[in-house]
Amino acid sequence: MFSMKSKLRLIGAFAALATLALAISCRGFFVNPTLTSLAIGPANLTLTPSTPGCSGCTYQMVATATYSDGSTSNVTGHALWTSSNTSVANFTSPGFLTAGTLQALGDTLPGTTSVSASDGTVSSSAETVNVCPTVESMTLTVSASSSGTGGNSVSVTGGSPVYFVMMATFNGVTGSQDVTDNVTWTIGNTAALPSISDGTGDTVSDQTGTFTVFGTLCGATSNTVSVTTTS
């Protein structure tokens, strides 16, 4: 026969087990932290176009998850990765980004795409990826006629247009490419020549003097040409 003391202990043990079972049924032993944010990197990535045996045309990006308890985890392998412009660059495996070919980029240099990752319902912010070829040479010429042969300098009456042509050679690509529409222009006197669009700039009639112009593309800088405007 159990003593009264033993019976009370047994009843207490059953009560403790019942309480524990109720707690487990409601919450489980542990409360799993929830995913609160997702970050990808690196930022401002630049790749070269894909060519046979290319170097710098691929990159393994990383996705880092942050949870409600402050912990972090590398979730690159099971995150869903997307690129807004797959012709510029696309993911061939989780986080592994491969640049498109120069032909796929077409006339848009540098090619730009936005990439992001998601894990369940949580998405990262988008990061911009540029695809720029390696420029071996870049030559700028200027002339007073759209059909004329350009040179390193030109003299025009203020108010007249001037015409620029930028030719570039790229690593792994045969021949020169016309990149006039793709370069970023630096104008020595924007009062005399406010801007250049599609290779054409309109000089200002009441501005005279000599100034320089050059262009940049994919980290390369062209030679400098000079423009003189007269009254």
Q: Which of 131, 152, 187 is the last residue of a domain?
A: 131
Which CATH number belongs to the domain containing residue 58 in this structure?
A: 2.60.40
pTM of the model: 0.68
Is residue 12 included in any domain, yes or no? no
CA-closest candidate to residue 146, choices 223, 216, 201: 201
The number of domains in the chain is: 2
Rounded CA gap, 213 and 196, in Å?
10
Residue 146 sits in the same domain as residue 77: no
Is residue 9 included in any domain, yes or no? no
Residue 142 sits in the same domain as residue 119: no
Rounded CA gap, 21 and 62, in Å?
41
The Cα angle at residue 148 between residues 173 and 102, in degrees rounded to 5: 15
Rounded CA gap, 48 and 29, in Å?
51
Residue 223 sits in the same domain as residue 183: yes
Residue 61 sits in the same domain as residue 76: yes
Is residue 122 included in any domain, yes or no? yes
Is residue 74 included in any domain, yes or no? yes
Is residue 30 included in any domain, yes or no? no
How would DSSP label each residue in 51-119?
-TT-SSSEEE-EEEEEETTS-EEE-GGGSEEEES-TTTEEEEETTEEEEPPHHHHTT-SSEEEEEEEEE
Residue 59 sits in the same domain as residue 143: no
Residue 56 sits in the same domain as residue 89: yes
Is 200 within 8 Å of 225 (Cβ atoms)? no
pLDDT in tens, the chain (231 residues): 446 555 546 555 555 555 545 544 444 456 789 999 999 999 999 999 988 888 889 999 999 999 999 999 999 999 999 999 999 999 999 999 999 988 888 767 789 999 999 999 999 999 999 999 889 999 999 999 998 789 999 999 999 999 999 999 987 777 888 999 889 999 999 999 999 999 999 999 999 999 999 999 988 999 999 999 999
Tell me which residue range forms the domain holding 163: 135-230
Is 193 within 8 Å of 162 (Cβ atoms)? yes
DSSP assigned state of 148: S
CA-closest candidate to residue 45, choices 118, 132, 174, 120: 132
